[in-house]
Structure 1
Amino acid sequence: MDDSEFLEMTQQDPVQARILRESLEHLASGLGGDTLKEMAQEVVSGRMGLREAADVSAYADQAVEQAAPLAEKWASMSDSEREALAAEGQRQLDEQRRALDEERRAEAAETRPGVKSRHDGRGWSLY
């Protein structure tokens, strides 16, 4: 399965798409119970899209049930606690962006180890 649906859902943000995929992989390991495990396995395997899975009432009901304690905790936080949590989330996103950029640089370096391709167009002249 490719990450195109995840990219679409995260407004083409590859870091958030990666985090979404990793979250589904955690759920697929059983982290959120059997129902969400099944849903995540269906999505990660490509047998079902995430939007399609959200339309399955058993999956949606379980996701809402699992999220309820988090929503309650968020509601009970002060504004400063929420801001601190948001800042920590942003710090983690920035860290993930740096890691992804580094991975891409490393991959690019592996594909061009300094040896010029015959067809790269550099150094060509008609004269």
Structure 2
Amino acid sequence: MPHPHDKPVDDSEFLEMTGQDPAQARILRQSLEHLASGLGGGALKEMAQEVLSGRMGLREAADVSAYADQAVEQSAPVAEKWAAMSDAEREELAAEGERRIADEQRQADEERRTQQEERPAPGRSRHDGSGWSLY
């Protein structure tokens, strides 16, 4: 149940963590949303919900030992799988990640263009009355 003072975190939190890269910020948010659904276990679910609700910053959450311990525990099988991969498999996985980042970048660029097109021209209000007449 949401807390009455919760304010969903805006993308500035994720942009800061990703070096102002909007595509990686989107992927970070999506990853937290997946964790918030319970995919990484109870502690990571709680952490993701805290961050997405705005009750806790991502850096602050990383300092909570229960969250960090479960993150390490969850990443161990991934690290083992990575170590067992061939160079070709690693390269394909890296290429897949690069394609995903490029797709997210295109989507972010398109959303930014759409938002800019929807804004009124600088210095002119949508309601300035120019071009309007009763006759």
**TM-score band, normalised by shorter chain:** 0.7 to 0.9
Which whole-Å deviations, capped at 9, do the CAs of 1:83-110 have from their partners, x for residues lacking one?
1111111111111111111111122222
Q: How many residues are treated as equivalent by the alignment?
A: 117
Please, which runs of 5 or more residues in structure 1 have no aligned partner? 120-127
* Aligned residue among 24, 27, 32 for 1:19: 27
The residue number in structure 1 matching 2:15 is 7
- Cα deviation for residue 118 of structure 1 reads 5.7
Q: Do structure 1's residue 59 and structure 2's residue 97 form an aligned pair?
A: no
Counterpart position of 2:50: 42
TM-score calculated relative to the size of structure 2: 0.79
CA distance in 2, matches of 1:73, 1:38: 26
Q: Name the TM-score, length of structure 1 as normaliser.
A: 0.84
Gaps of 5+ in 2: 1-8, 127-135
Q: Which moved more, 1:3-12 or 1:89-98?
A: 3-12
Matched, 1:79 2:87: yes
CA distance in 2, matches of 1:9, 1:49: 10
Is 1:94 the counterpart of 2:102? The answer is yes
Task: Work out the percentage of aligned pairs sharing the same amino acid.
Answer: 73
Separation of aligned partners in 2, 1:2 and 1:40: 14
Distance 1:93 1:118 in 2: 37
Q: Which has the higher contact order (CA 8 A, sep 6+)?
A: 2
Which is richer in helix?
A: 1
Question: What is the match of residue 117 of structure 1?
Answer: 124
CA contact (8 A) 2:14 2:25 kept: yes
Letter paired with 1:39:
M
Whole-Å separation in 2 of the counterparts to 1:15 and 1:111: 23
What is the one-letter code of the residue matched to 2:33?
A: E
**Distance in structure 1 (CA, Å) of the matches to 2:112 and 2:125:** 24
2:112 corresponds, among 104, 108, 115, to 104
